[in-house]
């Protein structure tokens, strides 16, 4: 499983609070006489249609998706409203579940339904839709996204209308709205407009914070944390992007049930850095001591590929479930690296934070592995694998192993269970074949070897180490035939090796 997918799993603890970008579109065409306003696209007309428009919103959906169905009337209502503004905004949809459209799903990296994309300038610029899912919210968000990327601040009232105490605002201060530096600022605003608000002004005195005598050119970023604003005077576009991305990240990201923190939590998990997470009870007497010490450590490692978050246990149950943590381990720090490694310090004290993080950076902390207990008895036809027995039962058993990765709540997994039992019984007296299963939600799995995108996922690993994803029909006979076929192939290969 890719690390990005691991982080998306963690983000579920946020999206359950703030909602997901979800929706489905009712069937429509651009010139439909039935007065539907969402445009239906597919592999045959997608490219030509998008090429004709400066701004198009495309939803990739699946007909069976409940979240998609919920958004359908809101998306259609928004499309009807947006069709009347000048310039109009086009909403479109693609049935990504259709086989013929899967090339589009691959091109746009669609990993779940629904996914909405903003396509600008004939599709040359693609951005994530990050707005609300109700009709009014969609309209408001897309009006802003389709208009100028940066708002001109001409008065203190203009400034107060865009400076939000809980959000990031990036303002360019210029002696005139022309020249290479102003053009680069405009490019910056276009590139990052889906994530940040932008403004520009001729007069720094109109701004609420910072040097009011500055004439520019400079970029001033307003933020609701740390030092509250930061100035930057290098106008290379890539340097500007780096400045905005780094400066708009808190030294320590807070995660609790307050929605104003959630955009920064999402940014934290989307960061390419390793992630240090301190979980504790925010109502405890130690909170202030932890906050102070943790902030000191975070400031020390800022810019050194390690990001820091403090999470309240009341809001972090999803993370606890994912990592296999227990509340009696709180306060605890867990660090997750980009290769999926996890490092844990349970029952940590405030004065231990700095030394433990240093030990981690120095390579002196052993990885933590989430595993269910090893079964005392493993006598069922389908053998149970846990993280602590994975090496012995799967990699080192010398057997041909058919392994199911499942989730306890998965309906398809429950349907497969009796069939897998029958397959296992068929090989009960065969010492060279093992049918096994692992709860992929309760155990760490080797992510560099097994890619598990959904449940159930089945892999066959031969006695000689050949690894195959099983994508056949989930019937007893099909699975038996698959094992026999690939096992026979292995046997022939072994015979040839011995002959040579």
Instruction: Give the tens place of pLDDT for each residue, 411-464.
Output: 999 999 999 999 999 999 999 999 999 999 889 898 889 999 889 999 999 999
pLDDT at site 14: 44
Do residue 280 and residue 387 come from a single domain? no
Do residue 102 and residue 176 come from a single domain? no
Do residue 308 and residue 236 come from a single domain? no
65 counts as catalytic: yes
Do residue 130 and residue 174 come from a single domain? no
Do residue 345 and residue 441 come from a single domain? no
- pLDDT tens-digit readout, 68-104: 999 999 999 999 999 998 888 999 999 999 999 999 9
In a domain, 13, yes or no: no
With beta carbons less than 8 A apart as the criterion, state whether 311 and 320 touch. no
pLDDT at site 162: 87
359: left (phi over 0), alpha (psi -120 to 50) or beta: alpha
Provide the pLDDT confidence category of residue 211 given band limits of 50, 70 and 90.
Answer: very high
Do residue 89 and residue 194 come from a single domain? no
Say which of 58, 65, 163, 325 is annotated catalytic. Answer: 65
In a domain, 377, yes or no: no
Last residue of a domain, one of 124, 146, 168: 146
Say which of 17, 81, 194, 410 is annotated catalytic. Answer: 410
Say which of 68, 90, 206, 319 is annotated catalytic. Answer: 68
Do residue 225 and residue 203 come from a single domain? yes
In a domain, 14, yes or no: no
Q: How many degrees, rounded to 5, is the angle at CA 224 between CA 221 and CA 225?
A: 100
Do residue 458 and residue 491 come from a single domain? yes
Cα separation, 471 vs 185, whole angstroms = 50
CATH of the domain at 80: 3.40.30.10
pLDDT at site 428: 92
Do residue 200 and residue 292 come from a single domain? no
Average pLDDT score over residue span 113-126: 91
In a domain, 4, yes or no: no
In a domain, 460, yes or no: yes
Element counts in the chain: helices (H) and strands (E):
15, 20
24 counts as catalytic: no
In a domain, 123, yes or no: yes
- The torsion defined by the Cα of 172, 177, 183 and 189, in degrees rounded to 10, comes to 40
In a domain, 6, yes or no: no
pLDDT at site 88: 85
Domain count, the chain: 4
pLDDT at site 36: 86
Do residue 402 and residue 450 come from a single domain? yes
Provide the pLDDT confidence category of residue 322 given band limits of 50, 70 and 90.
Answer: confident
Last residue of a domain, one of 294, 326, 361: 361
Of all residues in the chain, the percent with pLDDT exceeding 70 is: 90
In a domain, 425, yes or no: yes
- pLDDT tens-digit readout, 282-312: 999 999 999 999 999 999 999 899 999 999 9
pLDDT at site 238: 95
Average pLDDT score over residue span 211-224: 93
Say which of 78, 89, 348, 413 is annotated catalytic. Answer: 413
Last residue of a domain, one of 146, 170, 195: 146
Do residue 141 and residue 155 come from a single domain? no
> Residue 42: how many CB atoms within 10 A of its CB?
14
Q: What is the pTM of this model?
A: 0.67
Using alpha carbons, list the distances in angstroms from residue 431 to 381, 391, 396, 403, 435: 13, 18, 14, 16, 11
- pLDDT tens-digit readout, 218-232: 999 999 999 999 999
Cα separation, 196 vs 189, whole angstroms = 8
Provide the pLDDT confidence category of residue 34 given band limits of 50, 70 and 90.
Answer: low
> Residue 370: pLDDT above 90?
no
Backbone angles phi, psi at 460, to 5 degrees: -115, 125
Full domain range(s) for residue 480:
383-499
Average pLDDT score over residue span 248-258: 94
SS3 30: coil
Do residue 209 and residue 284 come from a single domain? no
């Amino acid at each position: 499983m890719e690390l990005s997918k691991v982080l998306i799993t963690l983000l579920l603890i946020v999206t359950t609070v703030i909602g997901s970008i979800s929706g489905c579109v009712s069937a429509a065409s651009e010139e439909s006489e039935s007065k539907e306003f969402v445009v239906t696209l597919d592999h045959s007309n997608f490219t030509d249609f998008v090429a004709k428009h400066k701004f198009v919103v495309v939803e990739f959906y699946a007909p069976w998706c409940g979240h998609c169905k919920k958004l359908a009337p809101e998306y259609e209502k928004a499309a009807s409203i947006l069709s009347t503004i000048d310039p109009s905004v086009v909403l479109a949809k693609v049935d990504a579940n259709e086989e013929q459209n899967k090339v589009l799903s691959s091109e746009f990296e669609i990993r779940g339904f629904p996914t909405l994309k903003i396509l600008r300038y004939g599709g040359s610029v693609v951005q994530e839709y990050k707005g609300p899912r109700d009709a009014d919210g969609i309209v408001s968000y897309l009006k802003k996204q389709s208009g100028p990327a940066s708002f001109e601040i001409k008065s203190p009232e203009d400034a107060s209308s865009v400076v939000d105490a809980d959000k990031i605002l990036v303002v360019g201060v210029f002696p005139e709205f022309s020249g290479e530096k102003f053009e680069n600022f405009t490019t910056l605003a276009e590139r990052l407009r889906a994530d940040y608000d932008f403004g520009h002004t001729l007069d720094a005195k109109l701004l609420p914070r910072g040097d009011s005598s500055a004439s520019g050119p400079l970029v001033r970023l307003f933020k609701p944390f740390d030092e509250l604003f930061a100035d930057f005077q290098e106008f290379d576009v890539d340097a500007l992007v780096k400045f905005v991305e780094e400066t708009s990240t808190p030294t320590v990201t807070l995660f609790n049930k307050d929605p104003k923190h959630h955009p920064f939590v999402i940014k934290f998990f989307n960061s390419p850095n390793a992630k240090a997470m301190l979980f504790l009870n925010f109502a405890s007497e130690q909170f202030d001591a932890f906050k102070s010490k943790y902030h000191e450590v975070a400031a020390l490692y800022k810019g050194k590929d390690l990001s820091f978050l403090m999470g309240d246990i009341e809001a972090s149950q999803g993370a606890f479930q994912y990592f296999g943590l227990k509340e009696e381990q709180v306060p605890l720090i867990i660090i997750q690296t980009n290769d999926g490694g996890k490092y844990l310090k349970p029952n940590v004290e405030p004065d231990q934070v700095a030394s433990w993080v240093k030990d981690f950076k120095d390579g002196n902390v052993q990885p933590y592995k989430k595993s269910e207990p090893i079964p005392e008895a493993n006598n069922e036809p389908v053998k149970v694998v846990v993280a602590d027995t994975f090496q012995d039962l799967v990699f080192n058993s010398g057997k041909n192993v058919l392994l199911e990765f499942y989730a306890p709540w998965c309906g398809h997994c429950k349907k497969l269970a009796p069939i897998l039992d029958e397959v296992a019984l068929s090989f009960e007296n065969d010492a060279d074949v093992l049918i096994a299963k692992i709860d992929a939600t309760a155990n760490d799995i080797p992510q560099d070897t097994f890619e598990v995108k959904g449940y159930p996922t089945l892999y066959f690993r031969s006695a000689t180490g050949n690894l195959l994803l099983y994508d056949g029909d989930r019937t007893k006979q099909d699975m038996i035939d698959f094992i026999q076929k690939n096992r026979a192939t292995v046997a022939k290969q072994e015979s040839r090796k011995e002959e040579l």
